[in-house]
């Protein structure tokens, strides 16, 4: 499942109104972050924010999917990338 899928499910469950709202409330970034980067281009920091927010909302199924994406972000291209705060 992609970040786009997580966004769509969160929207269907009434947790998010728009891509801009998702960028600020779930990814912890500016309102145009997801539109500019694309949801599959999220940084590890944004994915960590997504993971935390889904946990706060008690969405364990979506949180597990975000965690999978977060792990994948750390090992992209065979190397570990640093996560900036």
pLDDT digits (tens, 9 = 90+) for 47-84: 999 999 999 999 999 999 999 988 887 555 444 444 55
Phi, psi of 49 (to 5 degrees): -60, -40
Q: What percent of the chain lies above the pLDDT cut of 70?
A: 86
pLDDT digits (tens, 9 = 90+) for 46-56: 999 999 999 99
pLDDT of residue 80: 43
What is the three-state SS of 1-62?
Answer: CCHHHHHHHHHHCCCCCCHHHHHHHCCCCCCCHHHHHCHHHCCHHHHHHHHHHHHHCCCHHH
pTM for the whole thing? 0.81
């Amino acid at each position: 499942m992609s970040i786009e899928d997580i966004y769509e499910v969160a929207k269907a469950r009434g947790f998010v109104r728009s891509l801009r709202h998702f960028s600020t409330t779930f990814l912890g970034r500016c309102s145009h972050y997801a539109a500019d980067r694309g949801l599959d281009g999220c940084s590890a920091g944004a994915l960590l924010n997504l993971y935390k927010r889904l946990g706060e909302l008690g969405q364990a199924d979506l949180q597990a999917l975000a965690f999978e994406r977060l792990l994948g972000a750390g090992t992209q291209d065979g190397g570990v990338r640093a996560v900036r705060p």
